[in-house]
Amino acid sequence: MATSAVPASITGSIPRHVAIIMDGNGRWAKKRLLPRIAGHKQGVEAVRRVSRAARVMGIEVLTLYAFSSENWRRPAEEVSDLMGLLRRFLKREVEELISENVRLKVIGGWQALPADLVEMIREVMARTASNTGPMLVIALNYGSQAEIVAATRRLAERVAAGELTADRIDEAMFESELATHDLPPLDLMIRTSGEQRLSNFLLWQAAYAELLFVDALWPDFNAETLADAIDQFGRRQRRFGGL
C-alpha cells in the first residue's frame, strides 16, 4: 500500500503523465555475474515500487515500456521468462490495483501474446475498469511506428468509404486513433541506463514531452530516483514552441 508523502525534494509542478523506458535489466545482472532472468526479476520489483511511488506523488498516469514489438528477436528462453514474469506480476498486483483504485490499461499488440496471458490481461483490465484513480499503462508488444501506421490506415479507410474527407483530418483527429487517445498528454519521458534514444516508444506523444535520460539501471530505480526526475521536470521551462 502507498503510505508515504510526496518527497520534500520535489518543489515544482508534478507531471500528469510520465512514461518510462525501463532499460538495463541485463546489464544489472551482468555486473553481478547473474543470469539475465535475475535482472528481469529485479526489474519487476522496480515496477512495483516505482508505480507505488508515482501514485504517492500524485502522478495521474504512469506508462511503462515493458515489451516492444522488437523484443521478439530475443532468445526464445528469455521471451518465455519475460512472459512468466508478466503473469506473476498480474496475479500478484491485481488486488492491490483494485484496493488502490488504480486502472490498468495495456497498449500495443498484446492480443498476440500467449492465449492464457491475453485472458489474464483482459480480466485485470475488466476488474479495474471502474476504478477512478491513477492509471498504470503497460506497453506490451508495442511499437510506435506501427501504432502510427495503423492510425493512418484507419483514417484512410474512412476516407475511402466516404465517411470522411481528407481535409478534415487534423492533429486532434489523428490522436483520437492512437492507443493513448484517452490519456492526458505526455509530460515527461524517462529512460534509464544512460542510453539516449526513444526506441520506437510514444513517438507522436513525445512531441513536446520533456526528455530525461538517467544513468541508473532499471532494477536500481526507486522512489528517490523518481522524485529527482520529477524535481528536474518541475524546474524546466516548457514553452511548447513559444517564448
What pLDDT is attached to residue 46?
A: 97
CA 123/CA 126 separation, integer angstroms: 5
What pLDDT is attached to residue 219?
A: 98
Q: Of 28, 46, 48, which Cα lies nearest the Cα of 38? A: 28
Residue 132: burial class (beta carbons within 10 Å; 0-12, 13-18, 19+): exposed
144 annotated ligand binder = no
Residue type at position 145: Q
What pLDDT is attached to residue 78?
A: 95
What pLDDT is attached to residue 1?
A: 46
35 half-sphere exposure, CB direction, 13 A CA radius? 5
CA 243/CA 124 separation, integer angstroms: 44
Dihedral sign computed on CA atoms, order 143, 145, 147, 149: negative
What pLDDT is attached to residue 236?
A: 87
Q: Which of 71, 131, 200, 222 is catalytic?
A: 71
From the first residue on, what is the mean pLDDT of each consecutive set of 10 residues in the chain (243 residues)?
A: 52 90 97 97 97 96 97 95 96 95 98 96 97 97 98 98 97 97 98 97 97 98 96 86 66
What pLDDT is attached to residue 7?
A: 58
What pLDDT is attached to residue 124?
A: 97
Q: Of 69, 61, 36, 4, which Cα lies nearest the Cα of 222? A: 4
Q: What is the value of pTM for the model shown?
A: 0.92
Domains, the chain, with CATH or none:
17-141+186-232 (3.40.1180.10)
User: Is 231 one of the annotated active-site residues of the chain?
Assistant: no
DSSP-derived 3-state class of residue 78? helix
23 annotated ligand binder = yes
69 annotated ligand binder = yes
198 annotated ligand binder = yes
User: Is 101 one of the annotated active-site residues of the chain?
Assistant: no
181 annotated ligand binder = no
